[in-house]
Amino acid sequence: MTTKRKPASRHLTHAKRARAKPAAERIRESARDLFYRRGIRAVGVDEIVSNAGVTKPSLYRAFPSKDELAADYLRHMGEDGLSRFDSTIMANSHDPRGQFRIWLLDLLERATKSDYRGCGTSNAAVEYPDRKHPARKVAANIKTRFRRKLVALARAMGARRPEVLGDALMLLLEGVYMSCQLFGATGPSRAAVETADMLIDAHLKR
Amino acid sequence: MTTKRKPASRHLTHAKRARAKPAAERIRESARDLFYRRGIRAVGVDEIVSNAGVTKPSLYRAFPSKDELAADYLRHMGEDGLSRFDSTIMANSHDPRGQFRIWLLDLLERATKSDYRGCGTSNAAVEYPDRKHPARKVAANIKTRFRRKLVALARAMGARRPEVLGDALMLLLEGVYMSCQLFGATGPSRAAVETADMLIDAHLKR
DNA sequence: ACGCTATGTTACTGACCGGTACGTTGCCGG
DNA sequence: CCGGCAACGTACCGGTCAGTAACATAGCGT
């Protein structure tokens, strides 16, 4: 749903009651923060709105339900993640392997901070096993697209069987997401870069 | 807590009111089934007891709280998983690599069924990010011990750097857990066996 | 000055949550 | 055969959940 609301004023800067951002946007930011850090089921709508500095009816004017707000949260976070991946990889399209390495190092830097909570998309799939749930649908969509990007990347690297290398990297990355939130910086993710290198080597070797 | 209650009758077979199993055991089984399939937070104590054919006070006589019941669920499931790993690996201690392959194939067979819900331990860590939560503590304990087992296995395989191979395999396995519940049988886990082989090869090669 | 849009305010609903005080049952040893 | 006690059920608690109804108000463009 989400009802992508038009600016509602053709002039720039609506300036909404001397407050920086419209309620819907504040709610989105609040939800993103809380949902990611503490989990979707663990956070109630009351906490979301109070954290956003707005009130409950404002939430339900912008979003039809908490489930749809969760779906919206995943949509935004997922798109951000996918474009970050794209822009990192595309920054030097002649060296896909090097760019992937940069992206992975960047991920590890964020993921080894003590308050890291893994991949919000994967976490949502854990919280909502029902495949018909709106949040789960969005999660599946994001993950499928990311998988395709990894296969495309493997192809750009010159892998003999790009689907296999792409999937291997996906397994590795999901492992990084999970193990970082389980073990932190001293966990199995220490082996991530080296493992990725080995995998890529093995798939490129003649 | 869990208060491992003694048989409470010196004779064999208490026969508990013509019912097969005592309430605590029925609750454990019910909780295990529901917690795994639908998630811990998603399942209420009322559903657990009604599914078990008992009543709520029976739950709270056997377990001090829902959180502790969740911890007990993880403890049992974790121990079962660890012993299954041990017994599979030890079945032929002269061929650790082959035994690991058998274990992995068995995991994949279970994990590619359509209702697979991933690793209950990892899922619990997602549901309870707070490290002081009883369920989270158990999850951390199980995962740490499993990590050590993988390193020991890598050492038994003759890896030059067993910590690195063990951690690499752990990343791979966490990836399998997650990607199987996300994508099912046609997902990235199709590459799991081959990837494990490549990794092990690379770590054994001179 | 008017009306429209976005928002806040207050109060409420019914369902469900985890947890408990207290009564009941039935088997056992004596 | 009866007292006692362990095992279990009935009925309830206050709190929190997602979601809503009705109304007030502030600022904008016209």
Q: What is the DSSP string of B57-78?
A: HHHHHH-S-HHHHHHHHHHHHH
Measured distance CA(B63)–CA(B180) in Å, rounded = 32
User: Is the confidence at residue A34, as pLDDT, over 80?
Assistant: yes
Average pLDDT over residues A47-54: 96
Dihedral over alpha carbons B136, B141, B145, B148 (to 10 degrees): 80
Measured distance CA(A67)–CA(A138) in Å, rounded = 11
Average pLDDT over residues A6-18: 37
Q: Which nucleotide is nearest to B66 (CA to C1')?
A: C18
Q: How many angstroms separate the first and last alpha carbons of chain A?
A: 50
* Contact yes or no for B172/A175 (Cβ under 8 A): yes
Average pLDDT over residues A40-52: 97
Question: Residues of A from 50 to 89 whose C-beta is within 7 A of strand C: which are they?
Answer: 53-58, 61-62
CA of A46 to C1' of D15 (A): 14
pTM over 0.85, yes/no? yes
How far is A151 from chain B, CA to nearest CA, in Å?
10
- The residue lying closest to nucleotide C28, measuring its CA against C1', is B9
Largest pairwise CA distance in chain B = 66
User: Is the confidence at residue A85, as pLDDT, over 50?
Assistant: yes
How far is B9 from chain A, CA to nearest CA, in Å?
42
Q: Write the CB contacts of B184 (distance below 8 Å, at least 6 apart in sequence).
A: B112, B114, B116
- Which one-letter amino acid corresponds to residue A71? A
The answer to whether A143 contacts B182, with C-beta atoms less than 8 Å apart, is yes
Tokens at B53, concatenated: 């054919």
Measured distance CA(B55)–CA(B52) in Å, rounded = 8
Measured distance CA(B47)–CA(B64) in Å, rounded = 17
Residue A116's pLDDT is what?
97
Q: Which of A19-23, A196-200, B126-130, B148-152 bottoms out in mean pLDDT, i.e. has the lowest?
A: A19-23
Q: Hey, how many other C-beta atoms are within 10 angstroms of the C-beta on A35?
A: 25
* A123-137 residue pLDDT tens: 999 999 999 999 999
The answer to whether A129 contacts B198, with C-beta atoms less than 8 Å apart, is no
Q: Which nucleotide is nearest to B21 (CA to C1')?
A: D7
